[in-house]
Amino acid sequence: QVQLVQSGAEVKKPGSSVKVSCKASGGTFSSNAISWVRQAPGQGPEWMGGIIPMFGTANYAQKFQGRVTIIADESTTTAYMDLSSLTSEDTAVYYCARDISPDITRPTWFDPWGQGTLVTVSS
Amino acid sequence: DIQMTQSPSSLSASVGDSVTITCRASQSISTYLNWYQHKPGTAPKLLIYAASSLQGGAPSRFSGSGSGTDFTLTISSLQPEDFAAYYCQQSYSLPITFGQGTRLEIK
């Protein structure tokens, strides 16, 4: 049974960057997609992008293009999401989630999810 | 992008009631529709995938139906642990998009 454990909460200044990690254990890592989804207060979830670790190429939502970088380290079975040029609108809980699909352009469903990482952007 | 519209945005019900949540896609998505349950401070949980398939471990009182643009999630005989937020999500095309959610509260 795959389990995803994320890094802890972060408080960041506007204009800075944040890097959130997602450690996978208990199952396959390299051949399934890992996506990042965020949820701002009072809003629905928002897909940011995803990666297939064994291929290493990420696919990003256009909204975040140029500002987000998703990478995966097969040796440590850990995925990372780096978001730059933070503003208060980036205050949200960030989740990683596994998709059984081996093709990021053909998603299926997310199971399991990480526990979430609260990122607060405040001056 | 495919827009997902859920209704209602909130719902009050009692233990034992049956409730239905709807999700409408802005274009046809066949059966590429998933439902999640989310309780505060926890990881979202997959309930239904591919519109009508019950995820392993999910109680059988949860059921999903629909295809094309209109989908429903039905919870029969509500239990105390069912009071949570529910989200639909399309996986027909990128970017993956979610509904705004339905908050199910105890009456």
Instruction: Name the percent of chain B lying above pLDDT 70.
Output: 100
> Is residue A28 scored above 90 in pLDDT?
no
> Is residue B98 scored above 90 in pLDDT?
yes
Average pLDDT over residues B56-72: 97
Average pLDDT over residues A73-84: 97
Half-sphere exposure of B50 (CA within 13 A, CB side): 4
Average pLDDT over residues A21-50: 95
Provide the pLDDT confidence category of residue A27 given band limits of 50, 70 and 90.
confident
Helix or strand holding residue A72 (H, E): strand A68-73
Provide the pLDDT confidence category of residue B101 given band limits of 50, 70 and 90.
very high
**Between chains, do B98 and A45 touch, taking CB under 8 Å as contact?**
yes
Residue B39 phi, psi dihedral angles, 5° rounding: -105, 145
- The alpha carbon of residue A105 is apart from the nearest alpha carbon of chain B, in Å, by 7
Half-sphere exposure of A19 (CA within 13 A, CB side): 7
- Asked if A101 and A67 count as a contact pair (C-beta separation under 8 A), the reply is no
Contacts of B2 in chain A (CB under 8 A): none
Average pLDDT over residues B47-72: 98
Best probe of the B interface among A43, A111, A115, by most B CBs < 10 A, is A111
Can you give the pLDDT at residue A71?
98
- Asked if B88 and B99 count as a contact pair (C-beta separation under 8 A), the reply is yes
Average pLDDT over residues A97-122: 95
Average pLDDT over residues B15-32: 98
Residue A74 is given by DSSP the state T
- Partner A contacted by B50 (CB < 8 A): yes
